Structure 1
């Protein structure tokens, strides 16, 4: 089959790889009808995610049709149309039983490697490093889905692929980011990053009752899309974000701040972000947490900082003194997607949101490597890429 594979920093190829096979009785094989390039994939493309191996199949936003089912899987049958969460979860362990599917104790065969870096291991993920299981991803013609009686959600033929594909990751992630904010009537929510997850967080914050959303970015197309969603937009290259948020909130700060950027904050945004870039280039640091610092400072006393941008290691110069002295609450997670799927599918079915609004580029797998570059460089108005194998 064809698949997009990683061969080093900036080297993504569309090439032929072996077809997946049933390896366990709970598995399923799906024929991929739609998949997407995620902002998290760009961290892999940029070479900052450790434990990647040459030839790894990428992709964790995937849906398609079931073509084979393991003998122990009674949930799915051949012909079912499903969306596959990016988190791989057993459904039976301590965390899965409590709805914390992304903390699954059983699905990361590389858990000891992860524990050395993070103290413990999260769940295995599709297409995302041998720290997290080394599972083949879904930017391919076919995908093996482990524990397929827990993960995939069936979708009806009344909904298009583009309406439901993002249930696999960015819609639940953006919704969770907003839900973490405990939004109350009248609240102002500030969101750093107007990429796909940020756009979903903007829409979700309004769905959950925010009175005002402040969206922060510098890419014109992203800011325009955020504005169409009803957000007040700020360009961090044109104005001081702290000063503007204080002005908009009469000196109080935002009720909650969402970091939807993570480790690769723009190095030219400020002096501290430039220093972060130098440190990572010299291997003196693992991440560039400029956005997190700013979100902490811009949050009101006893407000919430919600973090869904990806960080990989140890963060430098995070202002914990500010957070502690002002009573901030931190909420963060890899999204336990399965927890959110039924509720968010219902919102789509009711017409409350159509997540396809973020799609700007549609292409084949063969065009995938070039579109990785387009997405990374924010060229051609690219906000979200969907591939149709």
Structure 2
């Protein structure tokens, strides 16, 4: 079959690879009908995530049709399914607490030691996202093996709901929703969101749905800021305004009630701390550019809440721990417990309460995946979200 494979920094290829096979009784094989390039995939593209190996198949946002099942799978051939990016068994200690991204059984035992030293405990598993998270082949492919298929995938029973409406249930819609949920939004709150990429825009939508009175979106791409304004957000362009001063003025000197970092380890901007971080990263003295989480902590009002869905990979310095403690802030973060949100968010989409298709700027054939990565990386204001369509020609997509 064909798939998009990682071969190094800024080097992804449309390769011929082995077809997936049923390995465990709870497995299923899915023929992929739609898959997307995620902002988190750009961390792989930029070489920031360790334990990638040449030939690893990328992609953790995908859906498709069931074509084969193991004897303990509850899926049936021919069903359309959305597959969460988190690989979770549904039966372990963490799954019993609905902490699905912390599943103890998703990450194979021979991969668990990879993350134990850096993270304290083995990481949960995910599709197409390094051997630290299990080494699973991803869904930017014609076919993919789905472990624990009796628990994770959501069957889409209504054939009239096209892929585009439900594809983002795999990751970015639940991630934006959980980001807002972790901010513990109360009616009347002012919420500041850093980053108007896909997760940030879903966090903006979700914050309003959860009762926020004002949402302030921070970015520097004009189109992304305009998309945030279409949902009712006020905006700050960090290239034109000093964010801390703008938030101070916009909140009457109090600060936002809650802040959400949807940027993560690759913060942009010519800020002193960010420049220092960039130098450290380029000389292998550091891993993350943590400007946004520092700024969010400094901006949040006393007694406020900080939510951090943005991905970080390692250790950061100059962390404002004193401000965090003295202001009595709360920080909630983590990979998304996708399975917890699948059904309610699917219902909201089916009832027309949430629109996810607004993000899609480009559709491409799977063979165009390498070009898609380059465009999404270099032209983020124009390429807001790319959906890849296996089985179609470049012209048809």
Distance of aligned partners of 1:208 and 1:129 in 2 relative to their CA distance in 1, 3 Å threshold? same
Helix, strand or coil for the counterpart of 2:34?
strand
Aligned counterpart, 1:103? 102
> Which structure 2 residues correspond to residues 218-233 of structure 1 after superposition, within 5 A?
218-233=220-235
Aligned counterpart, 2:311? 310
Aligned counterpart, 1:62? 62
Aligned counterpart, 2:219? 217
Q: Is the 8 A contact 2:118 2:314 kept in 1?
A: yes
Q: Is the 8 A contact 1:256 1:304 kept in 2?
A: yes
Q: Is the 8 A contact 1:236 1:269 kept in 2?
A: no
Aligned counterpart, 1:159? 161
Aligned counterpart, 1:243? 245
Unaligned runs of 5+ in 1: none
Helix, strand or coil for the counterpart of 1:302?
coil
Q: Is the 8 A contact 1:186 1:210 kept in 2?
A: yes
Aligned residue pair count: 387
The structural deviation recorded for 1:15 is 1.3
| Distance (whole Å) between structure 2 residues aligned to residue 180 and residue 206 of structure 1 | 14
The structural deviation recorded for 1:379 is 5.2
| Distance (whole Å) between structure 2 residues aligned to residue 120 and residue 132 of structure 1 | 12
Aligned counterpart, 2:77? 78
Q: Is the 8 A contact 2:221 2:381 kept in 1?
A: no
Q: After superposition, what is the alpha-carbon deviation per residue over 1:336-356, rounded to whole angstroms, capped at 9, x for unaligned? A: 100111111111111101111
> Which structure 2 residues correspond to residues 1-389 of structure 1 after superposition, within 5 A?
1-73=1-73, 75-109=74-108, 110-155=111-156, 156-266=158-268, 268-378=269-379, 381-389=382-390
Q: CA RMSD in A?
A: 0.8
| Distance (whole Å) between structure 2 residues aligned to residue 7 and residue 59 of structure 1 | 14
The structural deviation recorded for 1:377 is 1.0
The structural deviation recorded for 1:158 is 2.4
| Distance (whole Å) between structure 2 residues aligned to residue 161 and residue 44 of structure 1 | 25
Deviates more, 1:160-169 or 1:222-231: 222-231
Aligned counterpart, 2:395? none
The structural deviation recorded for 1:116 is 1.0
The structural deviation recorded for 1:283 is 1.4
TM-score by length of 2: 0.96
Helix, strand or coil for the counterpart of 2:13?
strand
| Distance (whole Å) between structure 1 residues aligned to residue 148 and residue 180 of structure 2 | 29
TM-score by length of 1: 0.98
Distance of aligned partners of 1:379 and 1:208 in 2 relative to their CA distance in 1, 3 Å threshold? closer
Q: After superposition, what is the alpha-carbon deviation per residue over 1:199-251, rounded to whole angstroms, capped at 9, x for unaligned? A: 11011111111111100000111111111111101100110000000101000
Q: Is the 8 A contact 1:374 1:380 kept in 2?
A: no
Q: After superposition, what is the alpha-carbon deviation per residue over 1:68-89, rounded to whole angstroms, capped at 9, x for unaligned? A: 010111x210011000000000
The structural deviation recorded for 1:269 is 3.4
Distance of aligned partners of 1:63 and 1:218 in 2 relative to their CA distance in 1, 3 Å threshold? same
| Distance (whole Å) between structure 1 residues aligned to residue 13 and residue 381 of structure 2 | 21
| Distance (whole Å) between structure 1 residues aligned to residue 270 and residue 32 of structure 2 | 39
The structural deviation recorded for 1:122 is 2.5
Deviates more, 1:59-68 or 1:377-386: 377-386
The structural deviation recorded for 1:123 is 1.5
Q: Is the 8 A contact 1:35 1:388 kept in 2?
A: yes
Q: After superposition, what is the alpha-carbon deviation per residue over 1:47-94, rounded to whole angstroms, capped at 9, x for unaligned? A: 111000000000000000000010111x21001100000000011100
Q: Is the 8 A contact 2:32 2:142 kept in 1?
A: yes
| Distance (whole Å) between structure 1 residues aligned to residue 285 and residue 380 of structure 2 | 31
| Distance (whole Å) between structure 1 residues aligned to residue 83 and residue 162 of structure 2 | 15
The structural deviation recorded for 1:384 is 0.5
Helix, strand or coil for the counterpart of 1:297?
helix
Q: Is the 8 A contact 1:297 1:322 kept in 2?
A: yes
Q: After superposition, what is the alpha-carbon deviation per residue over 1:115-168, rounded to whole angstroms, capped at 9, x for unaligned? A: 111001232110000111110000000010001111100112121100000000
